[in-house]
Structure 1
Amino acid sequence: MALLEVEQKHAKGQRVWCVPYARTLSGIEIRGNAKTWWAKARNTYERGSEPHVGSVMSFRGTRGMPLGHVAVVSEIVSDREIIVNHANWNRNRVSLKMGVKDVSKHNDWTLVRVESQPGRYGRFYPVNGFIYPNVDG
């Protein structure tokens, strides 16, 4: 469904953003810039520091990424590495199966490096944590 929306946006000449892509892929119904997701999730969604498949990794806004970023966890590789799917990490494109490594001092996912190209990890990015989709129960 999320990839179909991306195709439709491209066909109309529209930009692909991380927020609507993550919302559709995860089912987490939060609106607004990615940097606001962590605060908006409070009291509506569980949040934490452990990645789970289907959870949304919430990146903090930075000078180079002022609106923040969100990515959906698709696989747990180890306690310090996950695989994510996300949009607009590379301008106006969806990046599937991209690695993310926890490089935080206390192994708490507060600082990560993201695979910019297969096998190549870029700069350091601060992370708020993970937002977990509501599970019917």
Structure 2
Amino acid sequence: MNDPKARSRKKTVDEIQRAIVQLQADQGKLSISAVAKLAEVTPGLIHNTYPDLAEKIRGLVGKATRAQRDAKHDALVHEREVNRALRQELAETRADLSKLASINQVLVHEVALLKGMATGKVVSILQPKGTGI
């Protein structure tokens, strides 16, 4: 009965709980198998002899999974908002570009006309302001 491998129920429970806490603290993968390995027991022992601890582990795994899912969902919502804002900015920029291209084309024609007038090759048929003719 003094077998060094023999464990007391209390000691086994303490080791399993310690393994759970350690895996959570290390951000390791929490599972019944991982807890069993760290506590140096079999997963079957946890399932069959300590169903309350097995349920605790399953609950913690579910919470971790939900937390990851919620974090990913929040990140997705944020990125969609950023995407929406960027699409709006792109549409506004395209409208500005179109307006500026039109203004630029008018100015190019005006410069060509003024160059022609300056060289005397083009004569304005419009009366200049302030001449009263």
TM-score (norm 2): 0.25
Give the greater-gyration-radius structure (CA): 2
Q: Which of structures 1 and 2 has the larger relative contact order (alpha carbons within 8 angstroms, sep 6+)?
A: 1
Higher helix share: 2
TM-score (norm 1): 0.25
Higher strand share: 1
